[in-house]
Amino acid sequence: MSAPTLRSLARELGLSRTTLSDALRGSPRVKAETVERVRAAAKAAGYERNPLTGAVMSQLRRSRGQQFRGVLAVVEIIAEGHSPLAVRYNDALMSGISARADDLGFKVERFVVGPQGLSLPRLDTILHTRGIQGLILLPAVGFPDLSALSWSRYTAVYADYFIDHPPLHCVCCDHYRSMIALLQELHTRGYRRPGLFMEISLDERLQYRWEGAFLALQKYLPDITQVPALPVRELSRDAFEAWFRRYNPDVVLGHFPEVMEWMKACGAKLPKTHAFVCLNSLRTTGDCAAVDFQVPQLGGRACELVIGQLLHNEFGVPSQPSLTTMLGQLIEGPTLRPPVVAKKKKPAAETVAV
């Protein structure tokens, strides 16, 4: 028997091909009972919709002057503790998402969930009514629970390390590899006593990747003096200065630029005698060296992944969630010695035979 087609399946069910196609896509224009009947019949007949065909037809329609209107939803969860830094981070993600979506023929709409925004059931209704199936979830405070959404209708990416309710594909900066690269670069510049201070909550949500990489490199980089990390529940000046005076790290790594003044109060001269690198460039104003998480690029990558999942008809909670990471970049600043420039060797003098 020949493989079932959209035409043969529509004829068997007594429906138009348009209605059948909409039902297979889960379009809200088709009644729920019709969608169930069509999907059951398609499964029984062995019919599988090819999403790439729809993508090609969309491109053909665009070439004839009909504008394409694919829409992605960017969902931001605003809860207690949502800081100005989180707002800047999410805005940077949004800029990357919007730019890449525009490149790929999609539009983006931002939805806010929380006490001052939409409830999850209301968001679910809006997305279903408008036929929006691709979601990008912005980082949330703590560990968000989005299980209330009807996930069989959606495909999504979470722009952070991990999410458990439900477990989804994630995109984030590779903090572990970024710390490894940073320490290796500092080593080439002659720093031999790197010190790390860290609020435990900041590393805890990353499953201790900052401190883990720091401890590993302390063990394996040559000629390194091991300075104990300073993990604290809440950073205080007294605790920092006591640690700094005791261990005298020649380069300090951490999230809070205000420690530069505390270092100077202990006699440090930046960058002559000591150095400082902020582990998040969004916390700085260009007054120090810092690690750039490449946030707009992360947003663009999340956008690409969601669109790819849409084209491959991958809906629902993935059976094997994946993590896509990107390397952070060191931004030079006045608190760090410049990179070492290797001297060029002079070419050997040519010997002329006489």
The CATH architecture of the domain made up of 175-292 is 3-Layer(aba) Sandwich (3.40)
Task: Name residue 127's amino acid.
Answer: L
Judge: domain 70-173+297-325, CATH 3.40.50.2300: yes
Average pLDDT over residues 17-44: 84
Percent of the chain with pLDDT over 70: 89
Asked if the model's pLDDT at residue 243 lies above 80, the reply is yes
Which range among 52-56, 77-81, 300-304, 349-353 shows the weakest confidence by mean pLDDT?
349-353
Residue 112 confidence class, pLDDT cut points 50, 70, 90:
very high
The reply to whether 6-49 and 70-173+297-325 are identical in fold is: no
- Model confidence pLDDT, tens digit, residues 65-79: 445 658 999 999 998
Residue 191 confidence class, pLDDT cut points 50, 70, 90:
very high
Which residues pair with residue 198 across a beta bridge?
A: 231
Please tell me what DSSP assigns to residue 29: T
| pTM: predicted TM-score of the whole model, two decimal places | 0.78
Domain parsing of the chain, residue ranges: 6-49, 70-173+297-325, 175-292
Place of tokens 């984030």: 172
Q: Report how far apart, in Å, the C-alpha atoms of 296 and of each of 60, 143, 169, 172 are.
A: 30, 23, 18, 11
Q: Which residues contact 221 (CB under 8 A, 6 or more apart)?
A: 183, 184, 187
pLDDT at 352: 46
pLDDT at 65: 43
What is the average pLDDT value for the chain, to the nearest integer? 89
CB-CB contact of 114 with 77 (8 Å): yes
Rg of the chain over all Cα atoms, to the nearest angstrom: 27
pLDDT at 16: 86
CATH node for 6-49: 1.10.260
- Model confidence pLDDT, tens digit, residues 160-183: 999 999 999 999 999 999 999 999
CB-CB contact of 146 with 165 (8 Å): yes
pLDDT at 354: 39
When comparing pLDDT for 290 and 18, which is higher? 290
Encoding tokens for residue 317? 């909670």
Strand blocks (E) in the chain = 70-77, 106-113, 134-137, 155-158, 169-173, 194-199, 230-232, 251-254, 275-278, 289-292, 323-326, 329-331
